[in-house]
Amino acid sequence: MSNFVEFVATRLESGAPVSAVLREWIGDEGEQSFEAEQSDALHKTLVGVVDFLDEKIKVFTVNGQFVRNPDGGGIVAFTMGANYYAGDPPGLYRSICGEDEIVLHDLLSPVDFMATLVHELAERYVMKNQGLDYDTAHSEYAEPMEIAARRILESEEWDG
């Protein structure tokens, strides 16, 4: 996953369509291996930087098991991803996520990784720039964007 942003950027610069690039990177999801971090540390790892609507957002993976553990913050609500503005109560994830960051669980499949990244970017944007509360941003903006991304990422045929 750490080479994802570089891979996508290089392929897009060569003129490849977005759908083809994502499909190439995802490959056969069944062949991918994801191992859980069985430790007592956050393991926050920079994956890359996304230029999203004129903002540079750092994307990290974290050990989700540790985040949910009482010794790691006890943020039981953390399942797949988070951003600085999200959560109930507001700011719930600030102990693991800076203002210009998105954090994603380190065990996500490629499709889940991309769809959750889309979700978190959309949610963060409308909360920060439109002042929306978490519930509205999550259900009215982030979830529909994630569903659209999943339809593209999980489709048998790509239109690009």
User: Would the pLDDT of 32 be above 50?
Assistant: no
Structure tokens at 1: 């996953």
**What per-residue confidence (pLDDT) applies to 8?**
65
Mean pLDDT, residues 3-23 taken together: 66
Q: Residue ranges per domain, the chain?
A: 4-153
The model's pLDDT over 81-132, given as tens digits with 9 standing for 90+, comes to: 999 999 988 889 999 999 999 999 998 888 899 999 999 999 999 999 999 9
Mean pLDDT, residues 126-155 taken together: 93
pTM over 0.85: no
Supply the DSSP string of 21-42, one letter for each residue: HHHHHH--GGG-------SSS-
**What per-residue confidence (pLDDT) applies to 86?**
94
CA–CA separation, 152 and 76 (whole Å): 30
At 21, the pLDDT band (50, 70, 90 cuts) reads: low
- What angle separates helix 143-153 from helix 110-130, to the nearest 10 degrees? 150
User: Would the pLDDT of 61 be above 90?
Assistant: yes
Q: Which residue has the higher pLDDT, 63 or 157?
A: 63
CA–CA separation, 144 and 83 (whole Å): 17
At 18, the pLDDT band (50, 70, 90 cuts) reads: low
Mean pLDDT, residues 59-80 taken together: 88
**What per-residue confidence (pLDDT) applies to 133?**
95
Q: How many CB atoms lie within 10 A of CB 47?
A: 20
